[in-house]
Structure 1
Amino acid sequence: MSCVLGFDVGSKLTGVAVGNPFTASARALTTITVRDGEPDWQRIDALQKEWLPNTFIVGLPLTLDGGEQPASRAARRFADQLQKRYGLPVAFVDERHSSQDAAHRFAEARASGLKRRRDAAHIDAEAAAVIVERWLIESPAQPAIDH
């Protein structure tokens, strides 16, 4: 079964999620530490080997009016590195409001007893799951962007 790995790229932490194209669902996996602008590639290597994705999804942070910003360039750089390192297609998803959606999901899970306060450290991974689900729902028939 094929899957996708999604990333919510940050300056200190990058959230990672896995998505299932058949169910159009995703789940948060982990967060990866970013140091001096570089993610922990060993952890990403391990996730790639474990999940064997056929596509990577990267959240593209845009301004409210849809313009690029410094964080957009960092996400594009990360996507280029992913594509070169693994030779797999990479797709971008507009990640505006994904962090708010992730926070809302976390609050609902806490209210129902499924999450605890200490789980808030993984909110970036939950944001990655939101990004992956957006791509799965909005772009199921579209091929990933190979750059």
Structure 2
Amino acid sequence: MTPACMARGQNKGRVAAIDLGKARVGVAVADELGMFAHPRPPLDGARQQAVLAALAALARDEGVTRFLVGLPLELDGREGSAARRAMGFAQALADAAGVAVELVDERLSTVEASRRLREGGTNSRRARARVDGAAAAVLLQAWLDRQGQG
């Protein structure tokens, strides 16, 4: 399954990004104009079926027609076990939600999110609780910015 084949589908509607973690799943949703990413509270990553159900409900309730799933490639670009896990999750999400799912390179998105939270004055304890959504927002905002250039 390649990102290109999963990316085909509807082009209208809102876009949401997912930062897949084992403990927490970060979520961010684009505004109605498709210009800005807004983080949402994280989902409990312990039960994949519950995450998939919550994301399918998000797609239904908020008109999400495309999910971006962060693809955690190794720094040298290779696919490791985390990337394979993300690919499997992306396929399961496409099946559960019935919308387009695109894999997006997420290397360093959590590092960038942590940096932005620190710069914004968020202390380390609060940052841990918010970093997953912030990482999903970093991923989504970069994708939205690239779309606006086309």
Structure 2 match to 1:87 = 98
Using the TM superposition, give the Cα deviation of residue 87 of structure 1 relative to its aligned residue in structure 2, in angstroms.
1.5
Indicate how the Cα distance of structure 1 residues 90 and 60 shifts in structure 2: closer, same or farther if over 3 A, else same: same
Structure 2 match to 1:69 = 80
Q: What secondary structure, in the 3-state scheme, does the structure 1 residue paired with 2:45 have?
A: strand
Cα distance in 2, alignment partners of residues 36 and 30 from structure 1:
16
Indicate how the Cα distance of structure 1 residues 37 and 46 shifts in structure 2: closer, same or farther if over 3 A, else same: closer
Cα distance in 2, alignment partners of residues 39 and 135 from structure 1:
26
Cα distance in 2, alignment partners of residues 126 and 27 from structure 1:
8
Structure 1 match to 2:145 = 137
Cα distance in 1, alignment partners of residues 110 and 86 from structure 2:
15
The answer on whether the counterparts of 2:52 and 2:97 sit within 8 Å (CA) in structure 1 is no
Using the TM superposition, give the Cα deviation of residue 40 of structure 1 relative to its aligned residue in structure 2, in angstroms.
2.9
Q: Deviations over 1:97-120 (max 9, x none)?
A: 10111011111221xxxx565353
Match for 2:146: what amino acid?
E
Corresponding position: 1:125 with 2:136:
no
Indicate how the Cα distance of structure 1 residues 64 and 119 shifts in structure 2: closer, same or farther if over 3 A, else same: closer
Match for 2:118: what amino acid?
A
Aligned-pair identity (%): 33
What TM-score do you get using the length of structure 1 for normalisation?
Answer: 0.81
CA RMSD after TM alignment: 2.3
The answer on whether the counterparts of 1:93 and 1:134 sit within 8 Å (CA) in structure 2 is no
